[in-house]
Amino acid sequence: MNLEQEINKRRTFAIISHPDAGKTTLTEKLLLFGGAIQTAGAVKSNKIKKTATSDFMEIEKQRGISVATSVMTFEYNHMKINILDTPGHKDFAEDTYRTLTAVDSVILVIDCVKGVEEQTKRLMEVCRMRDTPVIIFINKMDREGQNPFDLLDELEQQLNIKTRPLTWPVNMGADFKGVYSLYEEQLYFFKSNKTKIESDVLKIKLDDALLEQKVGARDAAQLREDVELIEGVYDAFDRQEYLAGKIAPVFFGSAINNFGVKELLDAFCEVSPRPVHRPTNVRVVEPNESKFSGFVFKIHANLDPRHRDRIAFLRICSGVFERGKFYRHTRSGKDVRFSSPFSFMADSKAILEEGFPGDVVGLYDTGSFKIGDTLTEGENLQFTGIPSFSPEIFKELVNLDPMKSKQLEKGIQQLTDEGVAQLFTLQPGSRKVVGTVGELQFEVIQYRLEHEYSAKCRFDAMSMTKACWLTSDDKGKLDEFIRLKGMQIGYDKDQNPVFLADSDWILRMNMTNNPDIKFHFTSEFKLEA
């Protein structure tokens, strides 16, 4: 199979949602339909003790939430599907934002009871910035929720995107009977089944008298009326509009009951984009270029705690990645090779001989990779749009066991390399300050330091609100500013100076009083140097 054929068969996407909308459950069911797993695990079920395949960290299994992006690959209908299941919790939004740079489309999960929630809006803003194609899955239709038309109005108004239903529910809650596929003209009857794949499908047109027998006269009349309204009010589905990120097809179902998932997966395979081009600091890279290129969008320490491994997640952007071949690490200028690259199934791995655009490859990392690093076949370029953001919460790391200082130092270095938190060093005393966008990250870091590195610590709150990277064309003025503001200057892991402001007012004052110094709110400035 040639490169063009390999690209055409690949679909790489993220599943995003507000917490508890059913994102990880939907991921499980997609894997189930794809044959990647035999039994789906309910994330929070007391009856089914198996935990979700995509939640593999111990703290995820205990809390029933996703706190790290996981990668899963499976074959379906002669296509290779790469799913990136992202954290829904707002405290881990930065991990999700970076993951969205590594995918070509997304599936957005909406709870039919709660509708559009705060984190949903934030995630969609990132998708809108890049015009990422979006498919919407309205979940939990077996519960009493909002009117479907009200949900569609809310989606359009709150998320700034046109919608087009491709399936439509017959009732909801206790009276939920199934969904009608507008594009297949098929009626899918609802069955409550959490662990197996079963489907009861009837090929039927809406004007068929058999519809009354199957769903009852009242529901048949309501379905016909709803579909007539849909055809009259909503634009016809246009794949090009979808690929441009301007219209979102909408599906209804119940992920926990395996219902509506196959229709979603079939339609996704049909309409979603193949791997697309990527911007760099030099030019745009097309996937069908003959030479390999790719970038690291995530790093995970201790994927297997028994082996203390550190894994870099690489998105292939062009060409063919080959096991054992030398590639240029553009930031360091060194040539590197990988004898055991692998593909993922959550926490299980398989050795990969070659990979193609759209694939996510796991690379064993000895500490040479940082998020955003680029690998090429020699060309000196850097993929852009994968920044680290300024944290919002800052706490000082305090060692509770001086005998484990080395373990603590190694642990905090490796965990902050993953990108869920940032590490700054203050002088005098080499004090370690950790910055995050949410409180829960500190809990996760503290848990992982103790259980993966045997290092106990606590985090003491600090009166800081913003971290800004500093650059200047006048080195003398930058050095003078750093000298004068010594107590508010930290250094990141690359030894770049960072101004740690106590308040927005102090930050604005310093920016106004020092026009020759540039204050950067993301780490993207490093590519401009």
pLDDT digits 0-9 by tens, 443-500: 888 988 998 889 999 999 998 888 999 999 999 999 999 999 988 999 998 889 999 9
Q: Global pTM?
A: 0.79
Tokens for 26, please give them.
């939907």
Q: Is the peptide bond before 428 cis (omega within 30 degrees of 0)?
A: yes
Which of 131-145, 182-196, 243-257 shows the lowest mean pLDDT across its residues? 182-196
Q: What is the mean pLDDT of residues 516-522?
A: 89
Residue 78: CB partners within 8 Å, gap ≥ 6?
A: 9
On whether the CB atoms of residues 338 and 324 are closer than 8 A, the answer is yes
Residue 353, CA distances (Å) to 71, 290, 321, 356, 482 in order: 18, 17, 8, 11, 49
- Nearest-CA neighbor of 96 among 57, 122, 58? 122
pLDDT, position 58: 53
| Mean pLDDT over each residue of the chain, to the nearest integer | 84
Q: Which helix (H) or strand (E) holds 5?
A: helix 3-8
Percent of the chain with pLDDT over 70: 85
Which of 51-55, 77-81, 151-155, 334-338 shows the lowest mean pLDDT across its residues? 51-55
Burial class (CB in 10 A: 0-12, 13-18, 19+), 4: exposed
Place of tokens 């909801």: 172
Residue 170: CB partners within 8 Å, gap ≥ 6?
A: 176, 177, 178, 179, 180, 187, 215, 219, 222, 223
Q: How far apart, in whole angstroms, are the C-alpha atoms of residue 335 and residue 333?
A: 7
β-pairing, 105-111 vs 134-139, is parallel
Q: Which residue has the higher pLDDT, 8 or 430?
A: 8
Statement: residue 287 has pLDDT above 90? yes
Mind listing the domains of the chain with CATH numbers? 9-74+83-271 (3.40.50.300), 278-376 (3.40.50.300), 393-527 (3.30.70.3280)
Q: How far apart, in whole angstroms, are the C-alpha atoms of residue 240 and residue 69?
A: 29
Q: Tens digit of pLDDT for each residue in 207-232?
A: 888 888 888 899 999 999 999 999 99
Q: Which residue has the higher pLDDT, 368 or 105?
A: 105
Can you name the residues that pair with 137 across neighbouring β-strands? 109, 251
Q: What is the mean pLDDT of residues 157-178?
A: 92
Statement: residue 44 has pLDDT above 60? no
pLDDT, position 476: 94
Angle at 153 between CA 147 and CA 156, to 5 degrees: 140
Sequence letter at residue 465: T
Confidence of residue 94 (pLDDT cuts 50, 70, 90): low
Place of tokens 């300050």: 433
Long-range CB contact pairs, 49-54, < 8 A, 24+: 52/24, 52/25, 52/27, 52/28, 53/27, 53/28, 53/345, 53/346, 54/24, 54/27, 54/28, 54/85, 54/346
Which of 43-47, 291-295, 511-515 shows the lowest mean pLDDT across its residues? 43-47
